[in-house]
């Protein structure tokens, strides 16, 4: 599977030793670039940790992933493990841009490009809703 998103931050680095020797695991948090973005925690293992240190927040990456789940004491745990990733672009626009969008009232925003072909007319602020429900 493949996932593309912008790097949000590096997560926790965990180290240990198993029967096969020492290991390291680090989380890489990304945000997908969809109409409704999702935050995803990718798990990177020993051979990828040095490589993810080069990624800057806001940089777009494409990751080849494997999703695996396991049961422990009646609860299920799911990991999104990276087996390969590539940088897609350079760093993103300034961080202030999303904050400006969040301050705008919802009724004045234009619909997304994938919206139905009907036109969008926001309700007038002084309109009175006379529907009984």
Q: Could you report the per-residue pLDDT of 17-69, keeping only the tens digit for each? A: 989 999 999 999 999 999 999 999 999 998 889 888 888 999 999 999 999 99
What's the start-to-end Cα distance of the chain, in Å?
Answer: 45
The label of the residue with tokens 């990828």 reads 48
Residue 97 has pLDDT above 60, yes or no: no
More confident residue, 86 or 52: 52
Eight-state DSSP code of residue 133: -
What pLDDT score does 57 carry?
92
Fold of the 2-108 domain: OB fold (Dihydrolipoamide Acetyltransferase, E2P) (2.40.50)
1-10, 16-25, 61-70, 94-103: which range is least confident on average? 94-103
Backbone angles phi, psi at 29, to 5 degrees: -95, 125
The whole-chain average pLDDT of the chain stands at 76
């Amino acid at each position: 599977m493949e996932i593309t998103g912008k790097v949000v931050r590096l997560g926790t680095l965990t180290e240990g030793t198993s029967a096969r020797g020492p290991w390291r695991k680090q989380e890489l948090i990304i945000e997908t670039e969809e109409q409704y973005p999702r935050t995803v925690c990718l798990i990177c293992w020993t051979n990828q940790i040095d490589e993810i240190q080069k990624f800057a927040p806001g940089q777009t990456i494409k990751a080849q992933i494997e999703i695996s789940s396991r049961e422990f004491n009646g609860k299920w745990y799911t990991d999104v493990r990276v087996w390969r990733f590539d940088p897609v672009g350079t760093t993103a626009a300034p961080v202030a841009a999303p904050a400006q969008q969040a301050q705008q009232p919802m009724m004045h925003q234009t619909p997304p490009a994938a919206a139905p072909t009907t036109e969008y007319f926001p309700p007038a602020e002084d309109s009175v809703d006379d529907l009984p429900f």
